[in-house]
Amino acid sequence: MALGTDRRSFLKTSAAAASGLVIAFYVPRAGAQTPKPPALPDPNAFLRIGTDETVTILLAHSEMGQGIWTTLPMLVGEELSLDWTRVRVEHAPAAPAYAHVAFGMQATGGSTTTWSEFDRYRQVGALARELLVQVAAQRWGIPPAECRLDAGHVTDGSRRLSFGALAHDASQRPAPTAVTLKPAAEWTVIGKDRKRLDSPEKVTGKAQFGLDVRFPGLMVALVARAPVFGGTVRRFDDGPARAVPGVKAVVQVPSGVAVVAEHFWAARKGRDALKIEWDEGPGGTLDSTRLLQQFREMAKTDGVRAHAAGDAPAALKAAAKVLDLEYSGPYLSHSPMEPLNCTVRLSPGKCEVWTGTQFQTVDQAAAAEAAGLKPDQVEVHTPFLGGGFGRRANPAADFVREAVHVAKASGMPVKVVWTREDDTHGGYYRPQFLHRARIALGGDGLPAAWRHTIVCQSIIDGTPFAPVMIKDGVDDTSVEGAADSPYFRGTANHLAELHTPKLPVPVLWWRSVGHTHSAFAVESIVDELAHAAGIDPLEYRRRLLAKHPRHLGVLELAAERAGWKTAPPRGRFRGLAVHESFGSFAANVVEISVASNQIRVHRVVSAIDCGVVVNPAGVRAQMEGCAIFGITTALYSELTLRKGRVQQSNFNDYRMLRMPEAPQVEVHIVPSTERSGGVGEPGVPPIAPAIANALFRATGKRLRTLPLRLA
Amino acid sequence: MQLKVNGVVHDVQVPDDMPVLWVLRDVLGLTGAKYGCGIAQCGACTVHVDGQAMRSCILPAASAAGKAIVTIEGLGPGLTAVQRAWIDVDVVQCGYCQPGQIMSAAALLRERPNPSDADIDRAMSGNICRCGTYPRIREAIHRAAALMKGGS
């Protein structure tokens, strides 16, 4: 155990074992086995107890708002009785010790942090407990069994020794080879509300985000990137840019032309003064409307089979009536409040990177490649992330790779800052999508045949994850939530097909990934089926979900708390949706009104079953956030392309929900002893369809395109 | 020019049109005010100028010369009622927009010590939170109002 305060030696040992990228990506599902780490964790990597009584917990994952800065220490604290006023939390450096137990690389995403660390962080706490108790017992000359822990101390009932007083001796002992974790019945921390540990620094402005990194000699750089995807610099004139006071260098890098300056304002003025002639390439002809037409044509043809049972085409052919429904939606940018940025300092044999990242291992490897170094010569420092939503988990490591190139070409330490416009135009979007469903209902009003065709660019294609995550030509992230939907699989004859257009627009996972569109399509479709069958939407779902108790559990809870059986207030209309994603089950009932074609969401009643809950306060906060994020997506979010150019640029034309539009959000958690699922994303998917379903009740219009617009 | 920030006068050599935000962040090293949009759309850069909440990302340094600028770092002394309420209500998620939210809320509470929901809507509509903490921000502002009156 690194019980001293010498961070340097700790860093040295962990960095020495650094290796390249390990790919064992894994898409979690409820009921799937949790992959176990091979052995007990090295507590040195996760915990430092100082002689000053501070207990520092190192996070293998990045805090981007989801609350793991609190949740992971709670897991340690469950086994190691902590004095919470002495707890410090830090992001870990990039090192193999922090590899995600399921992904095999250091990463934060897929709503996996809590369940994937549920054992490891408790084991770390238990290992430390064992060592501290051994030392105390030895000093007192009593059996360890007579000792217990109490808020930063070991006690035998009459005597007390603080962790700090035991730390040095404990660090000299070999770590136990086995530990016993407390049974659930004895938990005192897990399952109890705990306030966020990062609040004090975040409400005082002290919290350091990537954009806040400063050190002497650090320059600020802005990069002029191609106006269309795949464009390249043909020639440029840097004279006017160099003439701007404060500009130190203008350098060409693979992604464009960088202006390096003393501060942001000089870099920005310098970049404005650049004259660049671009070779646009094929990206210059992209047009969203035409893409939609192309997607529509593709959906008329046979796709790659993602899942099938029975004979859906034959059953549909024989059916008297077939519903033929098309759902679609646009490219979306993540738009975290902190625009992308990356700071790089190069020195002989070394590259230091500071960036808000969800993908330390990938970024480390990419920085090494760009710098011409080995991964273990790259130090990755992770400050707080001002939002991530998937954008900061890029297999291409675009913002990191580029910053290394700028530092290398300019010979200066640089912070590459993306303006909001750069961030919006920078690609790696949620893909534009189209779903086509052909469904025949049986005599009972329930679906008897369902053919579901999805057109969606692949997020995984072309990344190192492809061999694991694309199976038989199907990127699971394109069809998740549809091809495995219980409604769809419960239909006797079903066929899910996928078309994967290849386009120059880079795409990426975006908070809830494929579920962003599959839940919208499937939960809207089910409402349409209920309407066609003349059955109440809740009752209809009950019939289809009879064998899916966890879906039903959240659905019934949300419906009951929302008062589904009673009429909504005058002028308001309700809609509901339920969806499983990331190992959790979430349902929403929304209450909306419509005035002058404007849709207003007044109330969201959310229910979640995420298995064992570590911090209920954190779960509620995430569900609230998911609701607001989901409403923005449902009502406003859209990127469009004309002549290859993204037409939106900033919050004036890529709108976010604002305070006056924010609804009341109520969150209800289903008590559960099931394995934990995720909570950062599962609340998002069932928002858009719940609004669309409410809108149908309000107006009789079925909107099948996101964002939902009445005029 | 001279800029008075958190009670301290600084001599800064910057272009007249350089926004106060970048003077604070890149010249004076005060990084509490955040860059989010650069066009006064998101409020992450909110500071007080002569007591008024203003978007420092579009405020030219020259026009702020001689005025009293207060940033999140200078809001105290110590934790103010607004900040304590923020902690009590567990408002923050990623936290990036929160200094701006807090500065807007503090200006509102100075003007209206007992704000209505409509007052909050009006005063806070210029501050975007992508994490979606609005319901808690509303609750925290009401709580701060109660704290300032000596309630709990």
3-state secondary structure of A212: helix
For residue B88, give the chain A residue with the closest CA: A195
Give the start-end residues of each E strand in A633-694: 641-642, 645-646, 664-669
Work out the pLDDT band at A36, boundaries 50, 70, 90. low
Q: In terms of Cα–Cα distance, which of A539, A686, A552 is closest to A606?
A: A686
In the 8-state DSSP scheme, what is residue A356?
-
* Separation of alpha carbons A1 and A58, rounded Å: 13
CB < 8 Å to B27, chain A: 263
Yes or no, beta carbons of B26 and A245 under 8 Å apart? no
Average pLDDT over residues A389-403: 98
Work out the pLDDT band at A711, boundaries 50, 70, 90. confident
Yes or no, beta carbons of A617 and B90 under 8 Å apart? yes
Q: In this complex, is the C-beta atom of B136 within 8 Å of any C-beta atom belonging to chain A? A: yes
Yes or no, beta carbons of A337 and B128 under 8 Å apart? yes
Yes or no, beta carbons of B32 and A196 under 8 Å apart? no
Strand duo A664-669 + A598-609: pairing: parallel
Q: In terms of Cα–Cα distance, which of A502, A458, A511, A516 is closest to A229?
A: A502
Mean pLDDT over each residue of chain B, to the nearest integer: 97
- Give the pLDDT confidence of A217-270 residue by residue, as tens digits: 999 999 999 999 999 999 999 999 999 999 999 999 999 999 999 999 999 999
CA distance A532 to chain B (A): 35
- The vertex-A593 CA angle with A589 and A595, nearest 5°, equals 160
Q: In terms of Cα–Cα distance, which of A86, A334, A345, A312 is closest to A214?
A: A345
- Give the pLDDT confidence of A633-679 residue by residue, as tens digits: 999 999 999 999 999 999 999 999 999 999 999 999 999 999 999 99
Substitution target from B6, B20, B37, B143 for chain A, most A beta carbons within 10 A:
B37
For residue A336, give the chain B residue with the closest CA: B130
Q: Residue A325 CB: number of other CB atoms within 10 A?
A: 18
**Whole-structure pTM value:** 0.95
- Give the pLDDT confidence of A47-101 residue by residue, as tens digits: 999 999 999 999 999 999 999 999 999 999 999 999 999 999 999 999 999 999 9
Tell whether the model's pLDDT for residue A7 goes beyond 60.
Answer: no
CA dihedral A446, A450, A453, A458 (to 10 degrees): 80
Tell whether the model's pLDDT for residue A540 goes beyond 70.
Answer: yes
Measure the N-to-C terminal CA separation of chain A; round to a whole number of Å: 63
Mean pLDDT over each residue of chain A, to the nearest integer: 94
Q: In this complex, is the C-beta atom of A383 within 8 Å of any C-beta atom belonging to chain B? A: no
Model ipTM over 0.95? yes
Contact at 8 Å (CB) between B30 and B8? Answer: no
b or e along A647-659 (b: 16 or more beta carbons within 10 Å of the residue's beta carbon)? ebbbbeebbbbbb
In A, residues 162-201, which contact B (CB 8 Å cutoff)? 195-196, 198-200
Q: How many helices (H) and strands (E) does chain B have?
A: 6, 5
- The vertex-A90 CA angle with B26 and A344, nearest 5°, equals 40
CA distance A12 to chain B (A): 30
Q: Residue A132 CB: number of other CB atoms within 10 A?
A: 29
pLDDT value, residue B151: 58
pLDDT value, residue A39: 78
Tell whether the model's pLDDT for residue A31 goes beyond 60.
Answer: no
What is the H or E stretch that residue A404 is in?
A: helix A398-410
CB < 8 Å to B122, chain A: 660
Q: In this complex, is the C-beta atom of B111 within 8 Å of any C-beta atom belonging to chain A? A: no
In A, residues 512-571, which contact B (CB 8 Å cutoff)? none
3-state secondary structure of A14: helix
Average pLDDT over residues A502-528: 98
Tell whether the model's pLDDT for residue A33 goes beyond 60.
Answer: no
- Dig out the tokens for A268 from the structure: 């920005």
Query: Which residues touch A530 (CB under 8 Å, ≥6 apart)?
Result: A536, A537, A539, A540, A541
Give the start-end residues of each E strand in chain B: 2-5, 8-11, 46-49, 52-55, 68-70
Distance of CA B35 to the CA centre of its chain: 12
Average pLDDT over residues A102-131: 96
Q: Which phi and psi (to 5°) does residue A709 adopt?
A: -135, 130
CB < 8 Å to B15, chain A: 245, 265
Tokens 């002809």 appear where? A285
Tokens 């808690």 appear where? B136
- Give the pLDDT confidence of B61-114 residue by residue, as tens digits: 999 999 999 999 999 999 999 999 999 999 999 999 999 999 999 999 999 999
